[in-house]
Amino acid sequence: MSGIKRVVLAYSGGLDTSVILKWLQVTYNCEVVTFTADLGQGEELEPARDKARLMGIPEEHIYIDDLREEFVRDFVFPMMRANARYEGDYLLGTSIARPLISKRLIEIARETNADAIAHGATGKGNDQVRFELSAYALDPDIKVIAPWREWDLNSRTALIAWAEKHQIPVPKDKRGESPFSTDANLLHTSSEGKVLEDPWEETPDYVYSRTVNPEDAPDEPEYITIDFEKGDGIALNGKAMSPAMLLTALNDLGRTHGIGRLDLVENRFVGMKSRGMYETPGGEIYARAHRGIEQITLDRGAAHLKDELMPRYAELIYNGFWFAPEREMLQAAIDHSQERVSGTVRLKLYKGSAHVVGRKSPNSLYSERHVTFEDDAGAYDQKDAQGFIKLNALRLRLLAQRDR
């Protein structure tokens, strides 16, 4: 079948990808290399190793990598430099992880001389697109196997029956229909499906796993500072941290204060709307802090250009075009703007909200001397405003003269 000899599988160790692992062996009669990434999803990875062994995968074909620092440094932070939010709100937590996974899948395929990769994303979602566009961009000849688009196991019952038939252990809590589907990494946890499918119904509190309910958060606000250097966070409350350490620490703060919950109906790249629940505790705090430091260090021209480019940039990431030239072009523009985005932001965390309450920087463009209502010692000549207005108005006056 297609002559595939060896395939690298994005393997979580859970039921679904275990079924896929077996299905690949049975259907393609090929060797499977498993790749399990630690992206900060908060699960033990060693059980995945054991399960892979049980399925007959030789030790050298079991890859378990801690990608947390690379994830935050090379994917999350560059995206945050753009203040990216999809459709006004979504911080792209799932979208931004996919290209990194594909990158490792392709690297491992090369190391192991595999001729294909496989993933467990369904045929209805965005993730299949993100995985595959990234994979093709990095290796144009790679073959991609997406079992959910191929097999006929299109209900949970069928999947479990197949698992049992093939001696794959099915955990008790997977036997019933799971109430929703989740994805998690250091940036966020998302949930969709099942109880969330009616967009009029409020998301039940038990769907949230990364944040306390704001109503249960502390009654006292907490103040923190984040330091930035060239557009990236480098310290929390004055303590230097690596990218992944910083995001982890912010996640803890966000959890405590119930920050970063989002209930969204969004537009998928494949053409349908879906309703999702996102928790991005640290990311929400970080995103607000980044805007805060930009407020005083970024020129208006740069800031407004960034704002205009952002929706396109976010759409590219959402749609899976991280490795496309136009995303890289936008990144080049964005990164160029961040050279002097350094300084400290102070935030107030309280019952679901993170607000910037102060910002300072050695690179500040804010000039108290210019803005003051008091005597400015000649910093600004108010009479200049007249000419400024007159010439900005000229075309409007010519229009009005014509049109009266």
State the catalytic residues.
Answer: 16, 98, 127, 181
Which is nearer to a copy of itself, 64 or 310 (by Cβ)? 310
The number of residues that bind a copy of itself (CB under 8 A) is 130
Looking only at residues 189 through 208 of this chain, which bind a copy of itself when binding is defined by CB under 8 A?
A: 193-194, 197-203
CB contact burial 240-257 (16+ within 10 A = b; e otherwise): ebebbbbbbbbbebbbbb
Write each residue from 28 to 57 as x if it is in contact with a copy of itself (CB under 8 A), else as -, in one continuous string: ------------------------------
Write each residue from 316 to 335 as x if it is in contact with a copy of itself (CB under 8 A), else as -, in one continuous string: ----xx-xxxx-xxx-xxxx
The answer to whether 17 is annotated as binding is yes
Distance CA 60, CA 97 (A): 25
Distance CA 320, CA 297 (A): 31
Looking only at residues 286 through 315 of this chain, which bind a copy of itself when binding is defined by CB under 8 A?
A: 291, 295-296, 299-308, 310-312, 315
Among the listed residues 183, 227, 266, 279, the single contact to a copy of itself using CB under 8 A: 266
Write each residue from 147 to 166 as x if it is in contact with a copy of itself (CB under 8 A), else as -, in one continuous string: -xx----xx-----------
Which is nearer to a copy of itself, 26 or 399 (by Cβ)? 399
386 part of the interface to a copy of itself, by CB under 8 A: yes
Looking only at residues 97 through 156 of this chain, which bind a copy of itself when binding is defined by CB under 8 A?
A: 122-124, 128-129, 132-133, 136-141, 146, 148-149, 154-155
Which is nearer to a copy of itself, 60 or 395 (by Cβ)? 395
Which is nearer to a copy of itself, 100 or 334 (by Cβ)? 334
Residue ranges for the known binding site for ATP are: 10-18, 37, 120
Residue ranges for the known binding site are: 10-18, 37, 90, 95, 120, 122, 126-127, 130, 181, 190, 266, 278
